[in-house]
Amino acid sequence: MITIESVLTCLEKLPALPAAAIRVSELARDERSSAVDFERVIRPDAALTANVLRFANSAYFGLRSKVESVRQAVALLGLKRTSELAAAAALGPIIPSRLPGYEIDASGFWTHCMAVAVLSERLATELRLEHPDLIFTAGLLHDIGKIAIASFVSNCAQEIMSRVHGGLAFVSAERAVLGVDHTEVGSAMAVAWKLPTAVGDVARLHHAPGEAPAGTDRVLIDLVHAADALAHALGLGRDAGELARAVDPGAEERLGIRARFLERVAGKSVDEIRELAQLFAPGRGGSR
């Protein structure tokens, strides 16, 4: 058994999200912020700026003209969207080349993060729901706990997998063997990195949306839960947990999801996911 404190001690050794990306997410929540504030925060970080612009010019964000500056990106996409771009641009380069224990490499993990971000948004659109705040970012960062906990999972991989083969969901096997799981660690990381509360809530509750307490954005948590399940079903970012996960029937009911609907969402999203995933495929695109 390990404690959350010992995991968090390890966290100090991991690369953190760039301070600029965190500052940007704070700015996005402040109604008084302007494009100039954004530019002032992002521009000194050359790698982050380059990556934000690369994202802004991808087909997914649907801009007709080429964006050449952060200020232009903010003008065309808005503050919230640009802060989501900054989160994506910041996450890509800090993913370790391999997550031992989850048997996944940086490229697979990144594909999964992108898949959940895109599918969460697409589910909301197709369900004609108003997009919850931070849905792309919360989807993108739902599994950050895995970055910190991977080496602990690796040390107990055999025991965890034997529980999975016995019929336990992977996240439950983590908790049974280690005493903590990637959702609890992810939520603690969100606090340590000063990420918005909603991002931490999703990291903590994306496997158990039914346990979301009052005051959390339940629609957001349900959407990311469903998107995560769909991404795994489609093989977008396979890891050791594979398909060993439960789907909360309550989340399906609350969202009003039907099987054909999920297939339509999947069909419409897979090319965009691939495009975004390739922007930062390790060794190909990341410029940090």
**Helices 19-28, 35-42: crossing angle, 10 deg rounding:** 170
270 is an interface residue for another protein by CB under 8 A: yes
Q: How far is CA 233 from the centre of its chain?
A: 17
Q: Is 233 in the site for another protein (CB under 8 A)?
A: yes
Mark the segment that binds another protein (CB under 8 A) among 25-33, 123-131, 133-141, 238-246: 238-246
Of 165, 191, 194, 211, the one binding another protein (CB under 8 A) is 165
Contacts 24+ apart (CB under 8 A), 210-216: 210/248, 210/250, 210/251
Give the residue with the Cβ less far from another protein, 140 or 161: 161
What is the DSSP secondary-structure string of 164-187? HHTT--HHHHHHHHHSS-HHHHHH
Q: Is 94 exposed, middle or buried (0-12, 13-18, 19+ CB in 10 A)?
A: middle
Q: Which is nearer to another protein, 17 or 171 (CB)?
A: 171
Among 23, 61, 232, 272, binds another protein (CB under 8 A): 232
Run of H or E including 125: helix 106-126
Candidate segments 5-13, 51-59, 128-136, 261-269, binder of another protein by CB under 8 A:
261-269
Q: Which stretch binds another protein (CB under 8 A): 12-20, 94-102, 197-205, 259-267?
A: 259-267
- Name the nearest CA neighbour of 94 among 106, 82, 78, 81: 106
Rounded to a whole number of angstroms, the minimum distance from the CB of residue 187 to another protein is 23
Tell me: does residue 14 bind another protein (CB under 8 A).
no
Q: Is 159 in the site for another protein (CB under 8 A)?
A: no
Q: How many residues bind another protein (CB under 8 A)?
A: 34
Question: Between residues 52 and 231, which has the closer beta carbon with respect to another protein?
Answer: 231
Give 101's Cβ-side CA count (13 Å radius).
25
Cα dihedral value 205, 187, 143, 110, nearest 10: 140
Please give the residues from 116 up to 145 whose contact with another protein meets the rule CB under 8 A.
none
Q: Does 235 bind another protein (CB under 8 A)?
A: yes
- Residues facing 98 on adjacent strands: 105
Tell me the CA end-to-end span of the chain in Å, nearest whole number. 35
Residues within the interface to another protein (CB under 8 A): 108, 161, 165, 169, 229-230, 232-238, 242-247, 249, 252, 257-260, 262-264, 266-268, 270-271, 274
